[in-house]
């Protein structure tokens, strides 16, 4: 199908000029290599600078707990991995990290954890949100990434101060979803989709994302992932290359994988194509890119991403929050991480949006039009 399509389209440049894309056109873009790939990355950079500008927005990442009720087959902190030392960061440690972000002009933080929905967990996050708003005079923006919850919980957290939420689908192909998750009520594809709808109903800027280069994954799957995000009308995206972890069931399929460099290149292509497909959303430069290429996040910023997440998690916990192997920046404290990223972003020719929430322009337009 794709080969026939490649022969029938006028040329690659014509596809790049379009504002809407068929699935077949997306596959052509995602698979591009050589000179065509150079054209794609150049075009996505132009669209990014035109639509969202050359600013990069910081989201101080605080991985406050690795205790998880899920058993996802790819994840290093899955419930069934008994080798992980479990932790809950103390409230004061979390608040200290938020204070650092606020005083250093980050403007926003991300609270990320394993997936729990117990009353105690819901109450704790609610109280933390209120304390973060209080310590920062309501100036810190807050993104949550705490998994599937009820609509009532999402509304409660929203009212207490969270206004962005990242809930990755990992794959929009139901069949592939169940190759990387157990097939049971705790890992329901339908519940995941439902939760994304709840987030929009609760008023959040909604983000999702996928892993790129999974075993069993096809280029058609990736094109459908992009169309899924377009149809869902997301406001932000966090996606990156799949990186295997030896303490997970999916590790047995490692011989099916592309090389890490191929996964890296494919991930950059996906960022670039998503920027063409949804020009005004926020796209994060995934930390997983840096696990393959030391300049991976900067390369993503150059071709379409506009958000980066300095790790503010206390160093003593970082070793235990490894969703994949070879996670970078495990021994850098918050100050070192900030200084390193500042230098890297400057070298990449971008400007840091200090003291700006950097809300999704797509979300702002969506609110203005009432969609």
What digits encode the pLDDT tens for the residues 344-366?
787 777 899 999 999 999 999 99
243 vs 330, more confident: 243
Q: Is residue 34 part of a domain?
A: no
pTM over 0.85: yes
- Domain of 196 in residue numbering reads as 54-369
Q: Is residue 1 part of a domain?
A: no
Q: Is residue 5 part of a domain?
A: no
144: CATH: 3.20.20.70
Q: Is residue 308 part of a domain?
A: yes
Determine whether 347 is exposed, middle or buried from the number of CB atoms within 10 Å of its CB (0-12, 13-18, 19+).
exposed
> What are the backbone dihedrals phi and psi of residue 211, each rounded to the nearest 5 degrees, phi first?
-90, 145
Report how far residue 25's alpha carbon sits from residue 21's, in angstroms, rounded to the nearest whole number.
Answer: 6
Report how far residue 207's alpha carbon sits from residue 129's, in angstroms, rounded to the nearest whole number.
Answer: 19
Q: Is residue 212 part of a domain?
A: yes
What digits encode the pLDDT tens for the residues 119-173?
999 999 999 999 999 999 999 999 999 999 999 999 999 999 999 999 999 999 9
What digits encode the pLDDT tens for the residues 20-73?
999 999 999 999 999 999 999 999 999 999 999 999 999 999 999 999 999 999
Report how far residue 68's alpha carbon sits from residue 156's, in angstroms, rounded to the nearest whole number.
Answer: 21
274 vs 5, more confident: 274
What digits encode the pLDDT tens for the residues 294-324?
899 999 999 999 999 989 999 888 888 888 7
Q: Is residue 91 part of a domain?
A: yes
What digits encode the pLDDT tens for the residues 101-112?
999 999 999 999
Q: Is residue 280 part of a domain?
A: yes
Count of the separate structural domains present in the chain? 1
Q: Is residue 82 part of a domain?
A: yes
Question: Above 50 in pLDDT, residue 5?
Answer: no
Closest CA to 111 of 37, 73, 177, 163: 163
What digits encode the pLDDT tens for the residues 322-337?
887 777 666 666 676 7
């Amino acid at each position: 199908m794709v080969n026939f399509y490649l022969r029938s389209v006028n040329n690659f440049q014509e596809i790049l000029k379009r504002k809407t894309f068929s699935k077949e056109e997306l596959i052509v873009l995602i698979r591009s290599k050589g000179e065509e790939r150079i054209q794609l990355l150049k075009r996505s950079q132009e669209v990014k600078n035109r639509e969202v500008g050359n600013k990069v927005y910081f989201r101080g990442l605080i991985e406050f707990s690795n205790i998880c009720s899920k058993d996802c087959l790819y994840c290093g902190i899955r419930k069934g991995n008994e080798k992980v030392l479990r932790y809950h960061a103390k409230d004061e440690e979390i608040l200290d990290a938020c204070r650092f972000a606020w005083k250093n002009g980050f403007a926003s933080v991300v609270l990320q954890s394993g997936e729990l929905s117990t009353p105690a967990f819901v109450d704790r996050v609610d109280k933390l949100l209120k304390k973060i708003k209080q310590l920062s005079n309501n100036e810190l923006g807050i993104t949550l990434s705490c998994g599937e919850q009820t609509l009532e919980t999402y509304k409660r957290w929203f009212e207490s101060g969270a206004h962005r939420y990242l809930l990755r689908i990992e794959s929009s192909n139901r069949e592939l979803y169940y190759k990387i998750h157990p097939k049971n009520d705790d890992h329901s594809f339908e519940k995941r989709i439902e939760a994304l709808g709840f987030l929009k109903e609760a008023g959040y800027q909604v983000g999702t994302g996928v892993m790129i280069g999974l075993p069993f994954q096809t280029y058609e799957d990736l094109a459908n992932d992009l169309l899924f995000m377009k149809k869902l009308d997301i406001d932000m995206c966090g996606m990156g290359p799949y990186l295997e972890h030896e303490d997970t069931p999916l590790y047995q399929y490692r011989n099916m994988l592309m090389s890490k460099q191929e996964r890296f290149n494919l991930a950059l292509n996906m960022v670039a194509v998503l920027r063409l497909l949804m020009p005004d959303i926020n796209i994060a430069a995934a930390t997983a890119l840096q696990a393959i290429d030391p300049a991976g996040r900067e390369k993503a910023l150059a071709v379409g991403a506009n958000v980066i997440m300095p790790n503010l998690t206390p160093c003593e916990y970082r070793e235990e929050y490894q969703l994949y192997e070879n996670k970078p920046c495990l021994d850098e404290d918050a100050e070192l991480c900030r200084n390193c990223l500042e230098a890297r972003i400057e070298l990449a020719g971008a400007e840091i949006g200090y003291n700006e929430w950097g809300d999704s322009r797509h979300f702002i337009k969506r609110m203005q039009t009432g969609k």
